[in-house]
Amino acid sequence: MLAKHGVVISGLGRFTSHSPSSSTVLRRQQFLVRALCGSNSKIHRPKLIRAMSSTSEADAESVLRTVTPSLDPKRHKGQAGKIAVIGGCREYTGAPYFAAISALKIGADLSHVFCTKDAAPVIKSYSPELIVHPVLEESYSISHYSEESQREVQERVLGEVDKWMERFDCLVIGPGLGRDPFLLECVSKIMSLAKKSNVPFVVDGDGLFLVTNSIDLVKSYPLAVLTPNVNEYKRLVQKVLNCEVDEQNAEDQLRSLAKQIGGVTILRKGKSDLISNGETVKSVSIYGSPRRCGGQGDILSGSVAVFLSWAQQLKSGPESGSENPAMLGCIAASGLLRKAASLAFAKHKRSTLTSDIIECLGESLEEICPAS
């Protein structure tokens, strides 16, 4: 993944010749190295310790500033991120749209959706900015096929997704996926393809239903992120830890859960968002809104995908840095969504919709991390 972006950090400051704006990037990189490894800088240290210590509130705004790449006219299309959402079926079309458009609004260059044939024209009609592939199939459209023909359909679906896989910096698997068995089986295999190509993925919504029932799909894949809400988290805890959610020891339980799934990163959504990769636990409590309109989770999953892929670009080589891009991506996405939700709520109050929050993503990011 690193080579694809043309930005490689190794040791304490060397960049490849592709580094687009070395002084800016160097500054950000030094900032990140200090954030991850500790530093003697009197200016940054208190903030960074707060951001990165093992169980505290993350400094989400600092992480956002660290992870977000500088814009440079020398870069070309695709270098700021290519995201794909796997989701969207006959029943659900809004969720994959929200995830995919959020990725663009944050600054990704290209955003794809892989959905069923029925969902595609609708998702396309929401926005000409998305590239929508009508390739997934649900049982109802193939139930009269022979077993062999069904296998052929599955192979075709996988081929259609796999030919794009290497181009993506991150997938979002689950928004508006539905629970059709044939579709979910295909999606299981798409997860395997992503792992084979080392493409990170964020699992949300019906993707979490799939993963909770087949935990091996994500187990020990360090580039997997799960973003459960209250109920999805409850089912995960029951299934994996074989117990109930323990609010008194929420952080320890989350850490155990992530560890038990082999070090995947879990973002547990709530009044405060809690994030763990099985080692550290971070919370993000800034901003936020009391409005709970459906769809905010889709903004979050699309945002995690972008910030994770940006953090991957900054990621130091295997010899350095203990923090992983998935943690940074989750902290950044949580902070940004919470700020956008609070801005949207200030404007629209009870009538705030998910689209209003999406419209505030750019302004929120600009306030925290000005583009120039």
SS3 for 18-34 is CCCCHHHHHHHHHHHHH
CB atoms within 10 A of CB 153: 16
Residue 23 CA to residue 57 CA, distance in Å, equals 30
Q: Does 132 bind a second copy (CB under 8 A)?
A: yes
290 is in an annotated binding site: yes
Using CB under 8 A as the binding rule, the residues of this chain from 288 to 307 that contact a second copy are 288-297
Residues in the chain: 372
In this structure, what DSSP letter does residue 281 have? Answer: E
Residue (88 or 263) nearer to a second copy, CB: 88
Range 220-239, binding a second copy (CB under 8 A): 229-230
Q: In what order do the strands lie in the sheet with 265-268?
A: 131-136, 110-116, 82-86, 170-173, 201-203, 224-226, 265-268, 273-276, 281-284
Query: To the nearest whole angstrom, how small is the minimum distance from the Cβ of residue 333 to a second copy?
Result: 14
Task: Note whether 278 binds a second copy by CB under 8 A.
Answer: no
Residue 272 known to bind ligand: yes
What's the rounded Cα separation, in Å, for the pair 42 and 372? 26
Binding status of residue 125 toward a second copy by CB under 8 A: yes
Closer to a second copy by CB, 140 or 249: give it: 140
The residue from 40, 43, 73, 242 that contacts a second copy (CB under 8 A) is: 73
> Of the ranges 122-130, 194-202, 209-217, 219-227, which one interacts with a second copy (CB under 8 A)?
122-130
User: Interacting stretch for a second copy, rule CB under 8 A, among 2-10, 37-45, 72-80, 143-151?
Assistant: 72-80
Which of 38, 46, 121, 159 touches a second copy (CB under 8 A)?
A: 121
User: How many whole angstroms separate alpha carbon 346 and alpha carbon 232?
Assistant: 29
Nearer to a second copy, 181 or 370 (CB): 370
70 DSSP assignment: P
Helices (H) and strands (E) in the chain — how many of each?
A: 16, 9
Task: Let me know: does 239 contact 209? Beta carbons within 8 Å.
Answer: no
Binding site for a second copy (CB under 8 A): 68, 71-80, 90-94, 97-98, 104-107, 109-110, 118, 120-122, 124-134, 229-230, 270-271, 288-297, 345, 348-355, 361-363, 365-366, 370-372
